[in-house]
């Protein structure tokens, strides 16, 4: 946790440690059910313990708009492969800038390629709001 008001927050301070994961061969329907149950907007796609991609609710909407049946479309077909990720030590202002520049709202946090959390853009800005000067 952040030790005092002068310490700059990092992704480790802001990240959600309980996040939805998916395997590449999961169906969109299976994943949509898990996302809804967790009230989450994204899932980290993990293959052999390593971050392989990310799939967001926006990706599922795109698949539905293209008339893909939820039991036939797979996560692999619709995920963003090799997403931008961050280390737990990355300052949260840098994480927010990465998300804004890349046009995405969910930033996986990884250690040696393994996902350990997710930072949402709203959480990043909320943390920055508590720290003047950003």
Residue 15 within a domain: yes
Residue 110 lies in a domain: yes
What is the structure's pLDDT at 131? 59
pLDDT digits 0-9 by tens, 45-82: 999 999 999 999 999 999 999 999 999 999 999 999 99
Q: How far is CA 92 from the centre of its chain?
A: 14
| pLDDT for position 109 | 98
Question: Tokens representing 66?
Answer: 């293209």
Indicate whether 74 belongs to any domain.
yes
State which residues form the domain around 59: 11-129
Q: What is the dihedral of CA 128, 129, 133, 134, to 10 degrees?
A: 40
Flag whether 4 is in a domain.
no
> Does residue 1 fall inside a structural domain?
no
Per-residue pLDDT in tens (0 to 9) along the chain, 134 residues: 444 455 789 999 999 999 999 999 999 999 999 999 999 999 999 999 999 999 999 999 999 999 999 999 999 999 999 999 999 999 999 999 999 999 999 999 999 999 999 999 988 988 877 755 54
59-97 burial, b at 16+ Cβ within 10 Å, e below that, comes to bbeebeeeebeeeebbbbebbeeebebbeeebbbbebbe
Is residue 104 in some structural domain?
yes
Number of domains in the chain: 1
Q: How far apart are CA 111 and CA 9, in angstroms?
A: 18
Question: What is the model's pLDDT at position 8?
Answer: 83
| Residue showing tokens 């009230």 | 39
pTM, two decimals, is 0.88
Say how many residues make up the chain.
Answer: 134
pLDDT at 42: 96
Beta-carbon contacts of residue 67 (< 8 Å; ≥ 6 apart): none
Residues in a beta bridge with 16: 118
Give the model's pLDDT for residue 80. Answer: 97
Tell me, what CATH number does 52's domain have?
3.10.580.10
Instruction: Region of 116 please: left (phi>0), alpha (psi -120 to 50) or beta.
Output: alpha
- Tokens 């909320």 locate to 126
């Amino acid at each position: 946790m952040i030790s005092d008001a002068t310490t700059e927050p990092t992704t480790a301070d802001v990240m959600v440690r309980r996040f939805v994961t998916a395997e590449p061969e999961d169906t969109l329907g299976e994943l949509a059910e898990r996302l809804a149950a967790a009230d989450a907007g994204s899932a980290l796609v993990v293959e052999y313990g390593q971050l392989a991609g990310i799939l967001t609710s926006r990706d599922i909407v795109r698949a539905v708009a293209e008339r893909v049946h939820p039991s036939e479309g797979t996560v692999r077909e619709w995920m963003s492969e090799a997403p931008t990720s961050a280390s737990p030590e990355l300052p949260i202002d840098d994480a927010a800038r990465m998300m804004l520049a890349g046009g995405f709202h969910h930033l996986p946090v990884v250690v040696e390629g393994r996902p350990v959390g997710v930072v949402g853009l709203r959480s990043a800005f909320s943390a920055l709001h508590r720290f003047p000067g950003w």
